[in-house]
Amino acid sequence: MIRALQWWDLDEVLTIEAEVFAANAWSAETFWAELARDDRYYAVAQQGERIVGYAGLWFNPPQADVQTLAVAPAAQGTGLGRRLLSHLVDGARERGCEQLHLEVRADNDAAIGLYRRSGFVLLRRRERYYPDFSDALVMGLDL
Ligand SMILES: CC(C)(COP(=O)(O)OP(=O)(O)OC[C@H]1O[C@@H](n2cnc3c(N)ncnc32)[C@H](O)[C@@H]1OP(=O)(O)O)[C@@H](O)C(=O)NCCC(=O)NCCS
């Protein structure tokens, strides 16, 4: 089931965040600040009682951005990333957005594969964009 993220999901979300993003993980404060904004939408994927993934959207029609997307390591490769992304695409359309953009590390093959499969195209490359000097790809989808 994919549904809106509630504040009581944050403990589980933060555990996944630390597992998948390690040193680059967002803090609890960052999530709280994101959830407090009215131009954001966050969703979780729930299996039974457990949260197994989450995704966030920044919408400012006609533009929207994917803020984050993550699936717990044990649940990766089962289609959840694709479903969460598709949920954000629908959410952006419902809010009147016409383009959805995102940034992804140029060496993140799994994420880039997912975005390409979902119709995103490469818009530009930002060289040495991240603190460790790796490049970012900016990708976009016309909604
Ligand atoms: C990127 C991520 C969200 C993908 O989620 P997922 O649930 O594992 O992906 P799915 O099972 O939905 O797969 C969807 C598509 O992604 C691509 N993909 C997924 N894993 C891949 C891998 N290891 N290598 C290459 N492509 C991959 C494939 O194109 C796949 O489509 P296919 O199954 O038809 O071939 C997940 O790997 C993740 O959380 N990674 C760590 C956090 C992260 O990097 N987030 C993105 C930040 S921009």
What is the per-residue pLDDT across 7-57, written as a single tens digit (0 to 9) for each? 999 999 999 999 999 989 999 999 999 999 999 999 999 999 999 999 999
Omega within 30 of 0 (cis) for the link into 62: yes
Of all helices (H) and strands (E), which one includes residue 65?
Answer: strand 63-71
* pLDDT of res. 69: 98
Amino acid sitting at position 70: A
For residue 79, how far is its CA from the centre of ligand 1 (angstroms)? 8
CATH of the domain at 108: 3.40.630.30
Of all helices (H) and strands (E), which one includes residue 88?
Answer: helix 80-94
* pLDDT of res. 97: 98
* pLDDT of res. 15: 98
Active site residues: 103, 115
Q: How many structural domains does the chain have? A: 1
Atom of ligand 1 nearest to the CA of 82: 12
Q: What is the pLDDT of residues 80-119, one digit of tens each?
A: 999 999 999 999 999 999 999 999 999 999 999 999 999 9
* pLDDT of res. 77: 96
Which amino acid residue places its CA nearest to atom 34 of ligand 1? 117
* pLDDT of res. 121: 98
Beta-strand pair 136-142/99-105: antiparallel
* pLDDT of res. 42: 98
User: Which residues form the domain of 99?
Assistant: 2-142
Decide whether any atom of ligand 1 lies within 6 Å of the 140 Cβ.
no
Give the C-alpha separation, 122 to 36, whole Å. Answer: 31
Q: What is the pLDDT of residues 58-71, one digit of tens each?
A: 999 999 999 999 99
Decide whether any atom of ligand 1 lies within 6 Å of the 114 Cβ.
yes
Token pair recorded at residue 112: 């880039």
Q: Is 131 a residue whose pLDDT tops 90?
A: no
The total of other beta-carbon atoms located within 10 Å of residue 128's CB is: 10
Token pair recorded at residue 25: 């993980």
Of all helices (H) and strands (E), which one includes residue 19?
Answer: helix 10-21
What is the four-CA torsion angle of 125, 130, 134, 137, rounded to 10 degrees?
Answer: -20
